[in-house]
Structure 1
Amino acid sequence: MFEQKLEVFKTVADCKNITLAAKKMHMSQSSISLQIQSLEEQFGARFLDRTNRGVSLTRAGHVFYQYVCSILEVMEEIQQKVTLLSEDKRRYVNLGATLTIGEYIMPQILVYLYKQWPDINFKTVIANTETISQGILDRKIHVGLIEGPVSPNRLLKIESFWRDELVVVVPFHHPWAERDSISLAELSKERFITREVGSGTRKVTENYLKELGLDPGLLNISMELGSTQAIKQVVSAGLGITVISYLTVRKECEQRIFKALRIEDFPLWRPLNILTLEKNTQFTQSQDERYFIDFLHNQKLLAKVLTSSYSEDDMAAAGSKIVQIMS
């Protein structure tokens, strides 16, 4: 298929390496090479210079690359507009969310939207920030919700939609549970439970502590865990303390399982961001996706949604509208 050959060529050109491109596209290196060779034979030009260190575009390759990008963007736009006009197609919002947002914020949002917007289905990818941003660039994800910093890219538009507070969390039987705050120096005296290296929450916390003059390396880290839920279970068992989004422990704090504390004089906030393609990429969002972004910018309504309590039946009904979840 000609479009697939163009996708292969663009991926190889972006990766500058056939091996990396093959891994990214889940294809064999030989298949990648054959499709590139087929394109070069079809157009009678050599597009790539191959060396032991990778590949680079020839002069003809640079020209071809620009046209390929334009063709793929137009094909994507055609697909979206035809989908919107087709009565037989289900309506989708193509979302990507990082782990904390996907696990604790998206369910609240989707329950509300399911009640207001029952005809919409959410095609959702739950992954790390790097995967979400690459999905946006590849046009496989149309709206990304991320909690960590993302590498600068002129094709990506980043805008904040929520101001999330990170708090020190201890079990309710901990001696600190009678307090509302702790000092920065006290933080390094307790066993610390944290997310794995590369986590958005961990990056924000470490950057924050550095700004305050505390070397994150001085923390007594006893465990590194790959999910917020795992951290909560370990903290509730009294095996350490953590710094985590208040939204993820709000219910447990109300149930007196946890106590959330601020660091004295230094409350920790982080932006939760919407990640999309810039308008100059010729990418067209669907009307439903634009509605979803507008909803996220309605701070008063979003605050109400995120602090609401929903029944298990509501959660299950909303869950039926999520047609694809990937970790």
Structure 2
Amino acid sequence: MEQHLLVFKEVAETRNITLAAKKLHMSQPSISLQIQNLENQYGARFFDRTNKGVTLTKEGKIFYAHVRSVLDILSNAKEQISALAKDQRGLIYLGATLTIGEYILPNILAFLFKTHPDVDFKVKIANTESISQDVLEKKLHIGLIEGPVPQHKDLNVENFWEDELVVVISNFHPWASRKSITLAELPHERLVTREDGSGTRKVMEMALLERGLDPEQLNVSMELGSTQAIKQLVSAGLGITIISSLTVSKEADQKLFKTLKIQDAPIYRPLSILTNARTTQTKDERILINLLHDHRLLSDVLSRDYNELVDLE
């Protein structure tokens, strides 16, 4: 029966019996016969056939949605049974965008390595679009992204952190004795920022526009693809920047530079967990997700030095 469903799904998605036959390494008559048997079994016509190919009927669209669910359930069952049969360690394919991958994930993984040593991770660092697509295609079990979330019926989205964008200045900047500034003061300073198209810059520009400040008014003196390089230039007094508070918290604590809040319009962006709506998380995946939702514990993990977490007993 599963073979019949796989054939139906392939024909529905390719909209072409010849192409489906090639992909499944089957003959066209065999494909047609299996489709006919399904239609006879359910007493409905699932496809409209034309010279250009096939398209789903109303009944076919209903059946297709259920077929996808059934095949996903069977696939998950096979994976879990296979893992038990091989006595495998837990393995989580995890994706993260740059800020999360560089400034959040190392501490989380170090903590989980000590508290759940039987779980392994394979991590991909990429942009939001790439991470989202991999979660949809089940190449990643969990995606962690910053900023705007893509909308898709097969994506589950859960916020787990609110990341504030702050103004960073050198210790000898004229604003160094202050704790905050106003939006109106920003255009008067040389701004060092991420390259056009980066997630952080996009969030910053959208937020400023919503608050009445056209990003074109900013005096952008340098654009860099590296957050670390931006921090070094700012600490040397070559400009100011607007950046994720997560990326500068340690340096600010060490007084390498100063961070200021935007007093009249603070800017926050959500950090989100992406999972595939058609799969069920394993026990090991839930351990990670539960940690991300435990704000008190997560705050503690992120506030620690990485080496302290590695040495945790």
TM range (shorter): 0.7 to 0.9
What 5-or-longer segments of structure 1 have no aligned partner?
A: 17-30, 318-327
Query: Shift of residue 38 of structure 1?
Result: 5.3
Q: Judging changes above 3 Å, is the alpha-carbon distance between structure 1 residues 35 and 312 closer, same or farther for their aligned structure 2 residues?
A: same
User: What is the match of residue 230 of structure 2?
Assistant: 231
User: What is the match of residue 187 of structure 1?
Assistant: 186
Rounded Cα–Cα distance in structure 2 between residues aligned with 1:106 and 1:293: 13
Please tell me the residue identity of whatever aligns with 1:277: N
Q: Judging changes above 3 Å, is the alpha-carbon distance between structure 1 residues 212 and 120 closer, same or farther for their aligned structure 2 residues?
A: same
User: What is the match of residue 295 of structure 2?
Assistant: 299
Please tell me the residue identity of whatever aligns with 1:284: T
Rounded Cα–Cα distance in structure 1 between residues aligned with 2:289 and 2:160: 9
What are the Cα deviations for residues 76-114 of structure 1, in whole angstroms up to 9, with x where unaligned? 312431244134322112211111001000011111111
User: What is the match of residue 127 of structure 2?
Assistant: 128
Rounded Cα–Cα distance in structure 2 between residues aligned with 1:10 and 1:239: 60
1:109-188 aligned at under 5 Å gives the runs 109-188=108-187
Paired residues of 1:171 and 1:237 also in contact (CA < 8 A): yes
Please tell me the residue identity of whatever aligns with 2:233: V
1:195-214 aligned at under 5 Å gives the runs 195-214=194-213
TM-score, with length taken from structure 1: 0.76
User: What is the match of residue 92 of structure 1?
Assistant: 91
Please tell me the residue identity of whatever aligns with 2:295: Q
What are the Cα deviations for residues 46-84 of structure 1, in whole angstroms up to 9, with x where unaligned? 999898xxx984659868854763464134312431244
User: What is the match of residue 43 of structure 2?
Assistant: none
Rounded Cα–Cα distance in structure 2 between residues aligned with 1:42 and 1:234: 66
What are the Cα deviations for residues 203-254 of structure 1, in whole angstroms up to 9, with x where unaligned? 2211211121001122122333333223223323433221111111111112
Q: Judging changes above 3 Å, is the alpha-carbon distance between structure 1 residues 175 and 150 closer, same or farther for their aligned structure 2 residues?
A: same
Bigger mean CA offset, 55-64 vs 250-259: 55-64
Please tell me the residue identity of whatever aligns with 2:293: H
Rounded Cα–Cα distance in structure 1 between residues aligned with 2:51 and 2:146: 38
Bigger mean CA offset, 235-244 vs 214-223: 235-244
Instruction: Give the paired residue count.
Output: 293
1:36-75 aligned at under 5 Å gives the runs 42-44=30-32, 57=55, 59=57, 66=65, 69-70=68-69, 72-75=71-74
User: What is the match of residue 281 of structure 2?
Assistant: 285
Please tell me the residue identity of whatever aligns with 1:80: E
Please tell me the residue identity of whatever aligns with 2:271: L
Q: Judging changes above 3 Å, is the alpha-carbon distance between structure 1 residues 251 and 144 closer, same or farther for their aligned structure 2 residues?
A: same
What are the Cα deviations for residues 102-136 of structure 1, in whole angstroms up to 9, with x where unaligned? 10000111111111111111121111111111111
Please tell me the residue identity of whatever aligns with 1:168: V
Secondary structure of 2:104's aligned partner: helix
Paired residues of 1:172 and 1:257 also in contact (CA < 8 A): yes
Please tell me the residue identity of whatever aligns with 2:267: L
Rounded Cα–Cα distance in structure 2 between residues aligned with 1:169 and 1:121: 36
Q: Determine what percentage of the aligned residue pairs are the same residue.
A: 49
What are the Cα deviations for residues 187-209 of structure 1, in whole angstroms up to 9, with x where unaligned? 11222222233332222211211
Q: Please report the RMSD computed on the Cα atoms of aligned residues, expressed in angstroms.
A: 3.6
Query: Shift of residue 289 of structure 1?
Result: 0.4
Rounded Cα–Cα distance in structure 2 between residues aligned with 1:10 and 1:244: 48
Rounded Cα–Cα distance in structure 2 between residues aligned with 1:86 and 1:268: 50
Secondary structure of 1:159's aligned partner: strand
| Matching of residue 106 in structure 1 with residue 94 in structure 2 | no
Rounded Cα–Cα distance in structure 2 between residues aligned with 1:61 and 1:38: 22
TM-score, with length taken from structure 2: 0.79
Rounded Cα–Cα distance in structure 1 between residues aligned with 2:170 and 2:12: 48
Secondary structure of 1:270's aligned partner: strand
What 5-or-longer segments of structure 2 have no aligned partner?
A: 36-46
When Rg is computed on C-alpha atoms for both structures, the one with the higher figure is: 2
Rounded Cα–Cα distance in structure 1 between residues aligned with 2:166 and 2:54: 47
Q: Judging changes above 3 Å, is the alpha-carbon distance between structure 1 residues 49 and 248 closer, same or farther for their aligned structure 2 residues?
A: farther
